[in-house]
């Protein structure tokens, strides 16, 4: 990079996932000269290796399943329906590439400088500017500086001790997104969002799928009743579950893996499968960031932060999957917006992360949103009332599926509690509409990469006169965030 190019900014963001790029756009809107550093593809894990390509695969698998039911609707399908896996994967990768390109367009549109490479924090100079070194293999380092830096480097798949994910026989989510061929059988280790989505995808395409979960139920982070009904739904499709079971070891063969599973009664069970997918959580990308030059505190691979994403080192902030809390893209975006508004001297409200929507998008037609929490002093949900259900349930009856566990407690000037779990066709649109309605009272941020979210940002001005009750002025004047801009760029 030439010395003639300005390397001093108001804000430098390391990482360009939904948290990073949304924060950069908001910073530019607020007049901050901003640079964003990215070592891989713009858009981060979500757009390139997470939510976007996964949902593209799930949509293809859902279509495959629905074609098998075409005769129920009066359509004749002659001959078996075949799967062209390479074209299916190529479509998924194309969706990711297109949205990554959309982020690059938004960086240019908002005059945000993009620097490719690994960013690392340096020292603070006498003028109060923090240095950031950007390194790239085979090229000289680039030195930047700014008074404030946001870390938005995301997370990666957690590994199990002694079990090597080699990308051939033992996969992580990246390998599962680009299989060279469909395995005959798959063992999924972990039944959280990542494990359940991939189990659903591969089972829909005819793969024999077994899921192992160390906890005593699937989707262990969710309501126990929901967990039980979800398991029945997956088992009806042919997925096998082993809960309270530990994966102790794997023995790799030429083209298969034998897994040693410790069952609840202590017995050791050996299961031979073609491939194993590790989906046992994530760990934050805190390495190689130069944190040793700072007072930034790392706890269990995540950066400790305050209510506005500030770390223990003045001028350094952290957002998204690198910090504790829900590892959800739209939560990262919300954290980025709030952080930047605080930096710019506005007065945003801190994000209430207990009020978020956790989405498990699977072929079991599983969609779930958590509508906030009641005040702590009540100690419990005082009402389990079906507010939504009859019409949604009627939509689902057609496919033998149903609305499950509609829990929406009383909406009373912002007091909302409970969970809504949709199982059936039309669930995504209905969920988006539900978020749109409830958001008038809560700090729900809406699903990322969803039509409903783009609609939400456009519609709210007309619905409530451009203002949201209880929001600060800076929030009320907020422009569309990065996610909705990407959606309009790619979908009109």
Tens of pLDDT, residue by residue over 443-461, are: 334 444 444 444 444 443 3
Given a cut of 70, whether residue 474 has pLDDT beyond it is no
Given a cut of 60, whether residue 192 has pLDDT beyond it is yes
Q: CA dihedral defined by 341, 346, 352, 357, rounded to 10 degrees?
A: -40
- Per the structure, the count of domains in the chain is 3
Domain match, 139 and 169 both: no
Asked whether residue 329 is domain-assigned, the answer is yes
Asked whether residue 72 is domain-assigned, the answer is no
What is the pLDDT at residue 68? 83
The CA angle 452-456-461, to the nearest 5 degrees, is: 160
Domain match, 398 and 254 both: no
Domain match, 151 and 292 both: yes
Domain carrying residue 338: 11-49+92-156+283-343
Q: What CA–CA distances, in Å, run from 246 to 253, 264, 282, 491? A: 21, 9, 18, 44
Domain match, 151 and 21 both: yes
* 302-327: average pLDDT: 94
Given a cut of 90, whether residue 208 has pLDDT beyond it is yes
Of residues 278 and 443, which shows the higher confidence score? 278
Give the model confidence (pLDDT) of 48-73 as tens digits.
Answer: 998 889 988 988 988 898 888 888 88
What is the pLDDT at residue 230? 81
Domain match, 313 and 243 both: no
* 420-426: average pLDDT: 47
Domain match, 138 and 206 both: no
Given a cut of 80, whether residue 472 has pLDDT beyond it is no
What is the pLDDT at residue 352? 65
Integer Cα distance of 423 and 425 in angstroms: 7
pTM value is 0.77
Asked whether residue 23 is domain-assigned, the answer is yes
* 334-356: average pLDDT: 83
Give the model confidence (pLDDT) of 14-38 as tens digits.
Answer: 999 999 999 999 999 999 999 999 9
What is the pLDDT at residue 455? 44
Of residues 412 and 107, which shows the higher confidence score? 107
What is the pLDDT at residue 442? 40
Lowest-pLDDT choice from 14-23, 188-197, 409-418: 409-418
What is the pLDDT at residue 5? 63
Domain match, 191 and 249 both: yes
* 165-189: average pLDDT: 96
Domain match, 397 and 470 both: yes
What is the pLDDT at residue 327? 84
Q: What CA–CA distances, in Å, run from 474 to 10, 30, 318? A: 19, 10, 21
Integer Cα distance of 226 and 219 in angstroms: 9
Q: What is the DSSP letter of 189?
A: E
Lowest-pLDDT choice from 196-205, 215-224, 316-325, 413-422: 413-422
Q: What is the CATH number of the domain that holds 292?
A: 3.50.50.60
Domain match, 115 and 251 both: no
The domain boundary residue, chosen from 265, 280, 295: 280
The domain boundary residue, chosen from 230, 264, 280: 280
What is the pLDDT at residue 77? 83
Asked whether residue 406 is domain-assigned, the answer is yes
Q: What is the DSSP string of 291-310?
A: GGGS---EETTEE---TTSB
Given a cut of 80, whether residue 467 has pLDDT beyond it is no
């Amino acid at each position: 990079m030439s010395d003639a190019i300005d390397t001093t900014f108001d804000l430098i963001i390391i990482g360009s996932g939904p948290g990073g790029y949304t924060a950069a756009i908001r910073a530019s809107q607020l007049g901050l000269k901003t640079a964003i550093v990215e070592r891989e593809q713009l858009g981060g894990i979500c757009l390139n290796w997470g939510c976007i390509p996964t949902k593209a695969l799930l949509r293809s698998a859902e279509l495959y399943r629905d074609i098998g039911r075409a005769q129920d609707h009066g359509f004749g399908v002659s001959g078996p329906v075949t799967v062209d896996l390479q074209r299916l994967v190529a479509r998924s990768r194309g969706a990711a590439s297109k949205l990554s390109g959309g982020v690059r367009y938004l960086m240019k549109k908002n005059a945000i400088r993009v620097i490719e490479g690994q960013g690392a924090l340096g020292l603070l100079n006498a003028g109060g500017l923090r240095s950031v070194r950007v390194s790239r293999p085979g090229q000289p380092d680039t030195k930047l500086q700014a008074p404030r830096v946001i870390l938005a480097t995301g997370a990666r798949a957690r590994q199990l001790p002694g079990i090597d994910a080699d990308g051939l026989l033992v996969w992580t989510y990246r390998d599962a997104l680009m299989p060279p061929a469909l395995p005959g059988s798959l063992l999924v280790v972990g039944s959280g969002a990542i494990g359940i989505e991939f189990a659903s995808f591969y089972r829909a395409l005819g793969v024999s799928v077994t899921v192992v979960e160390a906890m005593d139920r699937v989707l262990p982070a969710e309501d126990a009743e929901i967990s039980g009904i979800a398991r029945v739904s997956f088992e009806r499709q042919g997925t096998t579950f082993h809960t309270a079971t530990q994966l102790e070891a794997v023995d790799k063969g030429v083209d298969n893996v034998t897994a040693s599973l410790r069952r609840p009664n202590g017995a050791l069970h050996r299961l031979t499968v073609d491939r194993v997918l590790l989906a046992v959580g994530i760990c934050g990308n805190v390495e190689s960031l130069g944190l040793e030059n700072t007072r930034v505190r790392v706890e269990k691979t995540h950066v400790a932060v305050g209510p506005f994403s500030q770390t223990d080192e003045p001028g350094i902030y952290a957002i998204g999957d690198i910090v504790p809390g829900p590892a959800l893209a739209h939560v990262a975006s919300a954290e980025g917006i709030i952080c930047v508004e605080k930096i710019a001297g506005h007065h945003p409200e801190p994000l209430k992360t207990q009020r978020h929507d956790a989405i498990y998008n699977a072929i079991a037609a599983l969609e779930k949103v958590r509508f906030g929490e009641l005040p702590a002093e009540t100690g419990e949900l005082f009402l389990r009332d079906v507010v939504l259900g009859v019409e949604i349930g009627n939509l689902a009856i057609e496919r033998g599926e149903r609305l499950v566990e509609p829990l929406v407690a009383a909406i009373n000037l912002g007091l909302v509690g409970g969970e809504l779990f949709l199982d059936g066709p039309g669930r995504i649109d209905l969920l988006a509409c539900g978020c749109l309605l409830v958001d008038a009272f809560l700090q729900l941020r809406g699903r990322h990469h969803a039509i409903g979210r783009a609609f939400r940002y456009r519609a709210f001005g007309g619905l409530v006169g451009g203002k949201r009750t209880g929001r600060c002025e800076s929030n009320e004047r907020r422009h569309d965030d990065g996610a909705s801009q990407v959606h309009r760029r790619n979908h009109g």
